[in-house]
Structure 1
Amino acid sequence: MSQILIVEDEVIIRTALRKLLERNRYQVSEAGSVKEAINKYTLTNFSLIISDLRLPGAPGTDLIKLAGEVPVLIMTSYASLRSAVDSMRMGAVDYIAKPFDHDEMVAAVKRVIGKANAAKNKRQSKTSSHAISGMIGSSTVMQELYNRIHKVAPTQATVLVHGETGTGKELVARAIHEESPRADKPLISVNCAAIPETLIESELFGHEKGAFTGAASTREGLVAAADGGSLFLDEIGELPLEAQARLLRVLQEGEVRPIGSVESHKVNVRLIAATHRDLRKLCQDGQFREDLFYRINVVQLTLPPLRERGKDIIALAEALLERYCEQLGKPLLGLSPEAVQAVTTYTWPGNVREMENAIQRAVILCEDDAEISHELLSIDLDLVKVDIDITDSDPYAAARGGNIPVYNGSEPNEDLSLEDYFQRFVLEHQDSMSETELARKLGVSRKCLWERRQRLGIPRKKATVTAVK
């Protein structure tokens, strides 16, 4: 059972989290401050530490260094965006905005602990995982990819690289080639989707003079040009069936026969293929030869989409920013906190290629000497959106209807949601705290607190003033 430490000075929120996590079969310990946490517990014994950003005494980010390799999940408010970004740069594994719901918190905890366990297993196995030249990222999924590249590269095995468009499949092919015994020989790259179907066979396998209309001279194909080296066929799923049959002969017999020729020539080529399509499905639909699929699917490498690479996203964005600033002769720019939020929140359907275009465009258009704003990235996001809809309905209807639970000072009922705890805390403390103090204690902005009051029907009691005559 995974052990989690909650560091939160508000008893209501801390108890809510403990009960939530215990219902999901986690073993939970509590502390009200960083000092109490380090005095009471050995931090390295936990699987995860969940800490509020603002705590009495030292901030929650101090736990990042103290916890060593134990991941720290920081809780913060939408109003503390810059602090949240800074905590990520200091090493926090992730941050979650308050107020949050149960499903959001449980999903974040499962994700963080799962990744931490996988990383720990990798370290214990002592498998080499040094980075690949030209590839940026230290996330667990990328470490696993690096490991597999190091293992397969020195062999002669055919490799099938699978990944969405724009994830960098050609970089993987180049890394395999450069770490192989064929590194001093050519790497020929071919995008099968970019060559017309009528020309693909001629391009790959060559042709004799007069083999077809327009064949004015004998031409060596790209397969023969890769002799002794590696042949990278990108988007192999787009290869016509006739060309697939010729490629199968190259792999099985190690020979190529140009179009119009009666003689075959021996070739020694290592094939690296890539696709974003499901080749098994293509085989079932009769669009891809099953025998060729089994021939090329010796070792399969999967490139993760950018949205699944965690903190690699920021590292990649900053590396691209540095590259394009240098290329375009501009001062080294940074990403504004809003831009960081946009980069990490956007799903990047075009993956690394889309990010490259967005960063390059932003650097070209940027007129600031220090930061790039999120508007220049053209990412359409409401960066400080709260999950509450403000309507024109009567904000005090719920209060008049008597639907607000009354906080009696006892330990919160475990069936209540975090929103219920929010209500109870406000009702208990609003007479003794200012709006600024309430917002700070709850970890939200004053605007967010005001919106919650409207949504939940909790009117602000104004102090009575006695007129002096």
Structure 2
Amino acid sequence: MSQQTVLVIDDERDIRELLTITLGRMDLQVDAVGTVSEARRALAERTYDLCFTDMRLPDGSGHEILELIAAQYPDMPVAMITAYGNVDAAVNALKAGAFDFVSKPVDIQMLRQLVRTALRLAEEKRSGAAAAKTSPPGDRLIGDSPVMQQVRATIGKLARNQAPVYIAGESGVGKELVARLIHEQGPRASGPFVPVNCGAIPSELMESEFFGHRKGSFTGAVSDKEGLFQAANGGTLFLDEVAELPLHMQVKLLRAIQEKAVRPIGAREEIPVDVRILSATHKNLAALVEQGQFRQDLFYRINVIELRVPPLRERRGDVPMLASHILRQLAQKSGGATGRLLPTAQQALDSYDFPGNVRELENILERAMAMCDGDEIDIIDLMLPQRTPRGVSEAPAPAYGTPPPAPPATPASASDGGLDDYISNLERTAIIKALEESRYNKTAAAKKLGITFRALRYKLKKLGID
């Protein structure tokens, strides 16, 4: 295999020498130049596997280099060299197409990790692996609607660089699945994917959870603990519901992202970490910035590229395909027959707005399979909330980031305790009816309900039915 080559573009001799020595020790051949014109000549004469370019050059800028390479050498990763603390420049470089950035003074350990990741990506592109990874991920992301085809295409593009991505979308649309696909289709696929729900961590434990702690650093710290950043080292950290982070934690998170290093509680020194940040929330993050509830600098740092995942009501044509996929999954889990939607049930699903999106569709079908006779699901088995018929006086769809309007009054059998209580009451009624009709023979009742005896026993205990 021929020696891999790197082009370094920087007008500071010390930086050129540092990178040349460091990369040379990694068995890489390095060409170092100091101007845009010299870089153009070098790129015309030779093929490179990776390029480092400074932001400011005597006869131009690093953005000119980015544009040139994007147009003529699209398979070459480019890393931007930025001044220490120049976050805006780094963000602009990532938006312009840079693979990643390196801050001055250069951290050698972080530099080596960046180079290994970038060269692995370049090798995948040459070998054709990248093309395979950017192909539609089959049944992992269901739907052939134009908007979903666009989402899949965007995932393929985002997987090829290291820019932080903000995944926007309502609850239940599949934001974590999108984040996993970005990770799995990129050069970090062999590294860990660490998802964390920011709203599920108590405020007083957040710093320890994210950055770790040293033994004895506080009461209860009986041993050293690795934080989420260290656990995701070499891979991807997915910050779900990032809007739930308190302001004091937003400051610490911003520093960790900017410096690519964390300091565990009780530690004297920072630990370098190589982590790609993906984040998501169902809230309107830009509005929270305007309201002072989310730091603007952190917003710009995690929102380098935004990917919007559409709600299910915007891709109604995908509902039949999604429903079939979910029913097959339910059958595999239960070991029973695959459920089949009768035309009336399918029509009802096609016209339903799904305020809870794909997650709600999964819950509706799981409940329907428990309530239907045999494996055929009728409209009554779906138990969809009552709503105003389409075309009568239907309210417009809510704007992104705002809660859906309250549904019409639920049937008289609904509980005042919310959807969970309502569903529990429906299940209790159906189970008691099945028990009465089977003269309290649990095996016969389970068969009548279309569930296993074990599932019935679990529900009896859960619902407190004696």
TM-score by length of 1: 0.53
Q: Does 1:377 align with 2:382?
A: yes
Aligned with residue 327 of structure 1, among 325, 329, 333: 333
Q: Which has the higher contact order (CA 8 A, sep 6+)?
A: 1
Could you say what secondary structure the match of 1:166 adopts? coil
Q: Does 1:140 align with 2:141?
A: no
Q: Does 1:278 align with 2:272?
A: no
Gaps of 5+ in 1: 1-127, 389-469
Relative to structure 1, the CA distance from residue 289 to residue 328 in structure 2 (aligned partners, 3 Å threshold; closer, same or farther) is same
- For 2:187, give the aligned amino acid: P
Could you say what secondary structure the match of 2:234 adopts? coil
Q: Give the distance between the partners of 2:357 and 2:190, measured in 1 at CA.
A: 31
Give CA deviations for 1:58-109 in whole Å, capped at 9, x if unaligned.
xxxxxxxxxxxxxxxxxxxxxxxxxxxxxxxxxxxxxxxxxxxxxxxxxxxx
Aligned with residue 365 of structure 1, among 366, 371, 389: 371
Give CA deviations for 1:204-246 in whole Å, capped at 9, x if unaligned.
1111222222222221101111011000010001011122112
Quote the residue 1:354 is aligned against.
360
Q: Is the CA contact 1:129–1:143 (under 8 Å) kept in the aligned structure 2?
A: no
Gaps of 5+ in 2: 1-133, 394-466
Q: Give the distance between the partners of 1:383 and 1:324, measured in 2 at CA.
A: 30
Quote the residue 2:175 is aligned against.
169
Q: Does 1:205 align with 2:220?
A: no
Q: Is the CA contact 1:257–1:263 (under 8 Å) kept in the aligned structure 2?
A: yes
Q: Is the CA contact 1:362–1:377 (under 8 Å) kept in the aligned structure 2?
A: yes
Quote the residue 1:314 is aligned against.
320
Give CA deviations for 1:273-316 in whole Å, capped at 9, x if unaligned.
01111111111222111111111111110010111112101110
- Equivalent pairs, count: 260
Q: Does 1:196 align with 2:202?
A: yes
- For 1:380, give the aligned amino acid: P
Could you say what secondary structure the match of 2:203 adopts? coil
- For 1:204, give the aligned amino acid: F
Q: Quick check: 276-285 or 160-169, which moved more?
A: 276-285
Q: How does 1:35-434 map to 2 (within 5 A)?
A: 130-131=136-137, 134-369=140-375, 371-381=376-386
Q: Is the CA contact 1:131–1:143 (under 8 Å) kept in the aligned structure 2?
A: no
Deviation of residue 384 (structure 1)? Answer: 9.1
Deviation of residue 381 (structure 1)? Answer: 4.7
Identity %: 50
Which structure has the highest helix share of the two? 2
Deviation of residue 139 (structure 1)? Answer: 0.5
Q: Give the distance between the partners of 2:213 and 2:290, measured in 1 at CA.
A: 32
TM-score by length of 2: 0.53
Could you say what secondary structure the match of 2:319 adopts? helix
Q: Is the CA contact 1:132–1:175 (under 8 Å) kept in the aligned structure 2?
A: no
Q: Give the distance between the partners of 2:391 and 2:156, measured in 1 at CA.
A: 45
Work out which of the two has the higher radius of gyration on C-alpha atoms and give 1 or 2.
1
Deviation of residue 368 (structure 1)? Answer: 2.3
Relative to structure 1, the CA distance from residue 258 to residue 129 in structure 2 (aligned partners, 3 Å threshold; closer, same or farther) is same
Q: Is the CA contact 1:342–1:383 (under 8 Å) kept in the aligned structure 2?
A: no
Could you say what secondary structure the match of 1:193 adopts? helix
Relative to structure 1, the CA distance from residue 210 to residue 350 in structure 2 (aligned partners, 3 Å threshold; closer, same or farther) is same
Q: Quick check: 148-157 or 275-284, which moved more?
A: 275-284
Could you say what secondary structure the match of 2:280 adopts? strand
Give CA deviations for 1:116-172 in whole Å, capped at 9, x if unaligned.
xxxxxxxxxxxx773455110010111111111111101111110001011100100
- For 1:288, give the aligned amino acid: F
Deviation of residue 385 (structure 1)? Answer: 9.1
Q: Give the distance between the partners of 1:239 and 1:341, measured in 2 at CA.
A: 41
Deviation of residue 326 (structure 1)? Answer: 2.5
- For 1:324, give the aligned amino acid: L
- For 1:150, give the aligned amino acid: G
Q: Give the distance between the partners of 1:218 and 1:320, measured in 2 at CA.
A: 42
Give CA deviations for 1:153-198 in whole Å, capped at 9, x if unaligned.
0111111000101110010010000011010010001011111111
Q: Give the distance between the partners of 2:284 and 2:362, measured in 1 at CA.
A: 26
Q: Is the CA contact 2:330–2:338 (under 8 Å) kept in the aligned structure 1?
A: no
Deviation of residue 350 (structure 1)? Answer: 0.9
Relative to structure 1, the CA distance from residue 211 to residue 285 in structure 2 (aligned partners, 3 Å threshold; closer, same or farther) is farther
Relative to structure 1, the CA distance from residue 291 to residue 324 in structure 2 (aligned partners, 3 Å threshold; closer, same or farther) is same
Could you say what secondary structure the match of 1:319 adopts? helix
Deviation of residue 339 (structure 1)? Answer: 0.7
- For 2:381, give the aligned amino acid: L
Relative to structure 1, the CA distance from residue 265 to residue 331 in structure 2 (aligned partners, 3 Å threshold; closer, same or farther) is same
Q: Give the distance between the partners of 2:365 and 2:250, measured in 1 at CA.
A: 38
